[in-house]
């Protein structure tokens, strides 16, 4: 156990689950019914990591998507995401190993995702990771999603530790901003494959120096 770090808090999409593509596909499938589409470029530079509701608000402001459609598109998108999750979400050995080892070493483990609770619970069950978490938060557990710091502050509160004692594992600028604003320590990953025990352990050690 490190003196500086007592909890590891993971983002979900792009960190524990390679779901970027699923969210992209699912939202576009719903949007296309109404003649709208988000390009891959816009997805990567602007939309990725934001809750669906925020994405729809942006589409209304920027491209005139009728506000009345938000509810329906949001529901469809969620259904399409679930179809993809059930077909594609699987356990990853490196993650199971990392979480079980960190837990055995006495670290508290948290999850803080900008996705809705239903997605968080289903994905964590499908990956086999659900039982490792001492606290599991979705965007429905806070009033302001990332990039606001709320979800990381709330995760720390539920884990009973100071935000500065949390190492947050994040993959995109929106989540990084949230973690930094919360005052947590940060480990940035490019893909789900960077989330290994060795990598996390190295970051924990660095925080203690």
Q: Binding residues for Mg ion, per CB under 5 A?
A: 11, 13-14, 171-172
Task: List the Cα angle 138/176/206 in 5-degree steps.
Answer: 115
CB 178 → Mg ion: shortest distance, Å?
10
Smaller CB distance to Mg ion: residue 6 or 114? 114
**Phi/psi of residue 172, nearest 5 degrees:** -140, 160
In angstroms, give the least distance from the CB of 54 to Mg ion: 14
Report in angstroms how near the CB of residue 49 gets to Mg ion at its nearest: 5
CB 85 within 8 A of CB 109: no
Which is nearest to 169 in space by CA: 193, 185, 150, 153?
Answer: 185
The smaller minimum CB distance to Mg ion, of residues 154 and 171, is found at 171
44 phi and psi angles, rounded to 5 deg: -70, -40
Query: Measured at CB, which residue is nearest to Mg ion?
Result: 14
The Cα-based distances of 22 to 87, 135, 158, 199 in angstroms read 10, 24, 29, 26
Nearest to 16 by CA among 95, 73, 126, 102: 95
Q: Name every residue whose Cβ is closer than 8 Å to that of residue 60 and which is 6 or more positions away in sequence.
A: 66, 67, 70
By beta-carbon proximity to Mg ion, the closer residue of 193 and 205 is 193
Min dist. Cβ of residue 87 to Mg ion (A): 21
What is the rounded CA–CA span in Å between residue 197 and residue 59?
Answer: 39
- Residue closer to Mg ion by CB (options 128, 173) is 173
Q: Residue 172 Cβ, how far from Mg ion at the closest point, in Å?
A: 5
Q: CB 114 → Mg ion: shortest distance, Å?
A: 7
Residue pair 126/133 in contact (Cβ under 8 Å)? The answer is no
* Smaller CB separation from Mg ion, 23 or 185: 23
Nearer to Mg ion, 13 or 154 (CB): 13
């Amino acid at each position: 156990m490190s003196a500086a770090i007592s909890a590891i808090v993971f983002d979900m999409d792009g960190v524990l689950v390679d779901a970027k593509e699923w969210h992209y596909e699912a939202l576009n499938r719903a949007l296309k019914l109404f003649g709208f589409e988000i390009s891959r470029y816009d997805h990567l530079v602007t939309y990725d990591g934001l809750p669906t509701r925020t994405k729809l608000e942006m589409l209304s402001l920027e491209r005139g998507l009728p506000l009345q459609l938000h509810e329906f598109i949001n529901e469809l998108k969620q259904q399409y995401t679930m179809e993809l999750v059930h077909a594609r979400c699987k356990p990853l050995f490196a993650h199971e190993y990392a979480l079980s080892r960190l837990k055995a070493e006495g670290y508290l483990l948290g999850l803080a995702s900008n996705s809705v609770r239903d997605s968080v619970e289903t994905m964590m069950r499908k990956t086999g990771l659900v039982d490792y978490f001492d606290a599991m938060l979705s965007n429905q557990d806070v009033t302001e999603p990332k990039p606001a710091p709320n979800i990381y502050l709330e995760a720390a509160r539920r884990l009973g530790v100071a935000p500065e004692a949390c190492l947050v594992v994040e993959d995109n600028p929106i989540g990084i901003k949230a973690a930094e604003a919360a005052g947590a320590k940060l480990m940035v990953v490019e893909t789900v494959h960077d989330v290994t025990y060795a990598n996390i352990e190295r970051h924990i050690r660095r925080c203690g120096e």
